[in-house]
Amino acid sequence: MLRIIAEPGQFYVSSAFTIATNIIAKKKVDKEIENITPVSDGELHGYTDTLYRKIRMYYINDGIYGCFFDCLLYPGWFIPSHFKDDDEKVFDSIIWGPTCDAVDLIIENIKLPDLKRGEWIYFKNMGAYAFQCVTSFNSMPKVKEYFICERVLWEEIYPLEQSRLIKTTQGE
């Protein structure tokens, strides 16, 4: 007899919500990369050159001590989206959380357009457990939650609430 034990919660609620985060700081840095120089026949010389490439480091207002705890377990799991045109030039980028903790890394080695402080990026499919470990580590405030629902779905789930809402908005 085959017995399967699983936790379907993550599967069913993987698209539970989208989180919008604000870019609170930006820094351009030179990242050192190692380049091994091959000879013309494809063999390596045996020495390396140090090259540098400019990357953009973005700091957002949430991190692993907030909704991105799963980044510790699944690096690169959450891919950001932005509100820029898709045909804009992209740059090598890293996204960090706000705490200045070396492990507060959201994602690295990602291509993003040039974003500015105050702009928003968002992450879809944050999953069932994104709020379970939210803390105020390093005096960072906990994220605010705003619930948004399509009207049709709301009316289906809360038909009586809808009629009360209409009466309230009409001044009764």
By annotation, the residues acting in catalysis are 100
Give the burial string for 89-128 (b: 16+ CB within 10 Å, else e): eebebbbbbbbeeeebbbbeebebbebeeeeebebeebbb
d(CA 153, CA 103) in angstroms, rounded, equals 39
* Tokens 């390596």 -> residue: 44
Residue 111 tokens, joined: 């291509």
